[in-house]
Chains A and B, each alone.
Chain A
Amino acid sequence: MITLGRLLIGILLLALWQIGTVTGVLHPLFFGRPERILAVIVQWFVSGEIWQHLAVTIAETLMAFTLGTVLGVAAGLWLGLSTHTAALLDPFIKAANAMPRVILAPIFGMWFGLGMTSKVALGFTLVFFIVFFNVLQGVREVSPTVLNGVRMLGATRGQLLRHVYLPAALSWVFSSLHVSVGMAFVGAVIAEYLGSARGIGYLILQAEGMFDVDTVFAGIVVLTACALVLDGIVGIAEKRLLVWQPRADHTRDN
């Protein structure tokens, strides 16, 4: 029933869009036309042109996500466990987090060129802070009873790190997966859009330069579908990784 309703709403919106552009209420030059957008997408996939761009964007996303997560976990564990260093670095971390990091894209472009590195760099700065703050929180909220219990069971400092702090921190990382994967994707696309030679963001940038609104929308549709697929995969991973947790949302978004 609800599926039918959703389908109807979708069809209605598309129909309104189509009618609007056909009758001239919505100017096709600015709004594109659904059937032309579809044609662009079909053409991309039939010719196979889209794959290299999609592959680049996804590769950038995955690299930004992996790098941001690994370094975010490491930094979060380090600062979570050494209170003095955390206090020392606090203003710098706050400043780095408060800065609108998208604006770093041009700088990364200058530093790393127009290839994938500058895209990974931007995605990384977005992912890193989400993971970092979640890990910091996770480390600080480890139950003192669990900690003492594990110490009484004879755990060394390294074992405490591995068997208590790391799993506690990772649970927060896992529950922020949706946000961090999304951010990696956003970082990659934005950086592509601001200057690149490949990727979906590049396709959109090119089309915009030629005032080809249909292609811009086609790019947006592909990006959205891609984001939904990524989110679905994260959802499955999350279920498997967090079996030990009762259903509760304790994600901290930044």
Chain B
Amino acid sequence: MTEVLAFDDVGVVFRDAHGGAYTAVGGATLSVGEGEFLSVVGPTGCGKSTLLNLAAGLLSPSSGAVRVFGEPLRGINHRAGYLFQADSLMPWRSALDNIAAGPEFAGVPRALARQRAEEWLVRVGLAGHGQKYPHQMSGGMKKRAQLAQTLVIDPPILLMDEPFSALDVQTRQLMENELLALWQGSRKSVLFITHDLEEAISLSDRVVILSAGPATRPIAEFTIDLPRPRDVAEIRMTPHFLQLQERIWAVMREEVLKAYKQGAAA
């Protein structure tokens, strides 16, 4: 399998104004293959988002290197789309204009950009809502618009930072299924970050467990050999899913406890 995105012994140290230093990521090595859906799971506050920001090029590593299609990454990763946990839609643009933004920035004529946006609006189930502004949309609708905004530029890599964590359970499972359907149609490489183990297993080909911070790094990985296409709600009932969950949780549990103790001590 071709390596699309790779972390080579990456370290990230944040320095504060008082000369203190915090090692967020320590010696992380990880790679995402072509067309692979990889989830990274770790306890809350362990620096998961830092990993994604590294992959996006929004943050440079203090040591080691991030490689995209074999090339060291410098600046913004233009081969990646980023689905943020928080709302990243431009509030002054309608849903349609938000989705059309990427093509517009790339110099696609406005009419064509809007036409493509219109297609994606339909694909993510927002047909007829194109003229709504973000403040008029529900959490689920905003996520759909964000997804369309990211996918319309057709990036080979998709970075997702707990994108569905703010949604209610029903909307969330609906969105997860839709994400899988869209991914299956395009086979992008996905780096999905979550603290929800069930979500990770039901979506992924591979699940990587991160250690508790500071100096977080991958400590274990599991191949998820559940059959596709999957229905995220149904697959959670299968014995094999439960088996996998049990095995992974056994590893993750310790890290969660460590993180919890640190949180309690702080």
Give the CA-CA distance A149 to B91 in the complex, in Å.
12
In the complex, the number of residue pairs spanning A and B with C-beta atoms less than 8 Å apart equals: 75
Q: Are A150 and B78 in contact (CB under 8 A)?
A: no
Give chain B's interface secondary structure class: loop
**Interface size class, chain B:** 20 to 34
Q: Are A155 and B91 in contact (CB under 8 A)?
A: no
Chain B's closest residue to A168 (CB) is: B92
Given A145-B84, A159-B105, A246-B135, decide whether A152 and B89 contact each other with a Cβ distance below 8 A. Answer: no
Picked from A148, A155, A168, A245, the residue with its CB within 8 Å of the CB of B58 is A148
Contacts of B150 in A (CB 8 A): 152-153
Q: How far is the CB of B67 from chain A (nearest CB, A)?
A: 18
Query: Does B102 reach chain A (CB closer than 8 Å)?
Result: yes
| CB within 8 Å of B: which A132-185 residues | 143, 145-146, 148-156, 159, 163-164, 167-168, 171
Contacts of A152 in B (CB 8 A): 56, 58, 76-77, 80-82, 150
- Residue interface bits A212-244, CB-to-B below 8 A is 1, else 0: 000000000000000000000000000000011
Q: Are A153 and B87 in contact (CB under 8 A)?
A: no
Give the CA-CA distance A168 to B78 in the complex, in Å.
25
Picked from B87, B90, B91, the residue with its CB within 8 Å of the CB of A163 is B90
Give the CA-CA distance A149 to B90 in the complex, in Å.
9
Query: Does B86 reach chain A (CB closer than 8 Å)?
Result: yes
Q: Are A146 and B135 in contact (CB under 8 A)?
A: no
Q: How far is the CB of B162 from chain A (nearest CB, A)?
A: 13
Interface of A toward B, CB cutoff 8 Å: 143, 145-146, 148-156, 159, 163-164, 167-168, 171, 243-246
Query: Could you list 8 examples of A-B contacts with CB < 8 Å?
Result: A148-B56, A149-B90, A150-B88, A155-B101, A168-B92, A244-B135, A245-B92, A246-B135
* Among all A-B residue pairs, the 4 with the closest Cβ atoms: A149-B88, A153-B102, A244-B133, A152-B82
